[in-house]
Structure 1
């Protein structure tokens, strides 16, 4: 895997074999750091043309309530517009963050998003999602 971006609260890696982005969030995030991370992810999607994301929030602390609706409705829509078809999201262990993740998923209409308790389950689900939407196969 190739590291594309790294800061104390977020690491974005690209797997050249699967052509997926692996995003790892750590610690506390406020609105500003959450938005900056999302913009960076979108830029890396454009750069790599990845169509799937494994988003690991297991190490996130606290929630980010103010940007929940924006992430679910606008950011995820922008990812879908760039060709992302699926996001496997590893849940935070922290309860406020878990609650916000569930809210984001509730606002999301596309791409396909599912949540998982561990990376292995997320990886296996993401691998099983067809690389092209069923209407294109």
Structure 2
């Protein structure tokens, strides 16, 4: 179900946010060049949807981004992430553009979101979806005490 389509000043679609009802996660696709103010607007749209849907997963597909997606992760770390975690976000599967995998891994290695939620970086959409499905399945599996 399509929730938000975000357009830049030139009226080009740069972000589409959907709710994947079958899997119960938000699915955002980004495309083109996305300057920081537009990226923040898209991330804030996630928060709006998390308030309404209370889903623990986000599939963030940046595979069609041109150029850097976000100039600084400081805003994400300090402003966005605490709100997203408070709204129940627990898993973020981030699919990078073809030339951004190594840089994204470097950011993820710093663990910028601490223990607020789990972030995994992928260069393949199917692998990202599979990881989210495993995360959801693990939540439903009863844990044994040793």
Shorter chain as denominator, the TM-score bin is 0.7 to 0.9
Residue 80 of structure 1: how far off its partner (Å): 1.1
SS in structure 1 opposite 2:26? strand
1:12 to 12, 17, 23: 17
Deviation string 1:85-114 (CA, Å, 9 cap, x unpaired) is 10011111244x862x34553312121000
More helix by share: 1
Total equivalences in the alignment:
131
Alpha-carbon distance between aligned partners in 2 of 1:79 and 1:69, rounded to the nearest angstrom = 15
Alpha carbons of structure 1 residues 30 and 55: separation in structure 2 relative to 1, 3 Å: same
Q: Which residue of 2 aligns with 1:114?
A: 120
TM-score, L = length of structure 1: 0.84
Residue 72 of structure 1: how far off its partner (Å): 3.2
TM-score, L = length of structure 2: 0.79
Q: Which residue of 1 aligns with 2:10?
A: none
1:28 to 33, 39, 57: 33
1:44 to 49, 64, 87: 49
